Structure 1
Amino acid sequence: MTARYLREEHHMFRAAFRKFLEKEAYPHYNDWEKRGIIPRSFWAKMGENGFLCPWVDEKYGGLNADFAYSVVINEELEKVGASLVGIGLHNDIVTPYIASYGTEEQKQKWLPKCVTGELITAIAMTEPGAGSDLANISTTAVKDGDYYIVNGQKTFITNGIHADLIVVACKTDPHAKPPHRGISLLVVERDTPGFTRGRKLEKVGLHAQDTAELFFHDAKVPAHNLLGEEGRGFYYLMEKLQQERLVVAIAAQTAAEVMFSLTKQYVKQRSAFGRRVSEFQTVQFRLAEMATDIALGRTFVDRVIEEHMAGKQIVTEVSMAKWWITEMAKRVAAEAMQLHGGYGYMEEYEIARRYRDIPVSAIYAGTNEMMKTIIARQLDL
Structure 2
Amino acid sequence: MDIVKSLGHPEELFNLFKFKMGGCRTVMPKLDYESMSESLRTCYLYLNQTSRSFAAVIQALDGELRHAVCIFYLVLRALDTVEDDMTIPFEKKVPMLNDFHTYLYQADWCFTESHERDKQVLEDFATISLEFRNLGQEYQDVISDICQRMGVGMAEFLEKKVGSMKEWDQYCHYVAGLVGIGLSQLFSASQLEDPEVGRDTELANSMGLFLQKTNIIRDYLEDIQVARAFWPQEAWSQFACHLEDLAEPAHLTSALSCLNLLVTDALRHVPDVISYLARLRNQSVFNFCAIPQVMAIATLSACYNNPQVFQGVVKIRKGQAVTLMMQATNMAAVQSIMAQYSQKMLHRVSLTDPSRDKTLRILRVIQERTVSQTTLPSRTTHLSPIYLSAAMLIAALSWQYLSTGQPEGNTDMQGH
TM-score of the pair, normalised by structure 1: 0.32
Structure with greater helix percent? 2
TM-score of the pair, normalised by structure 2: 0.30
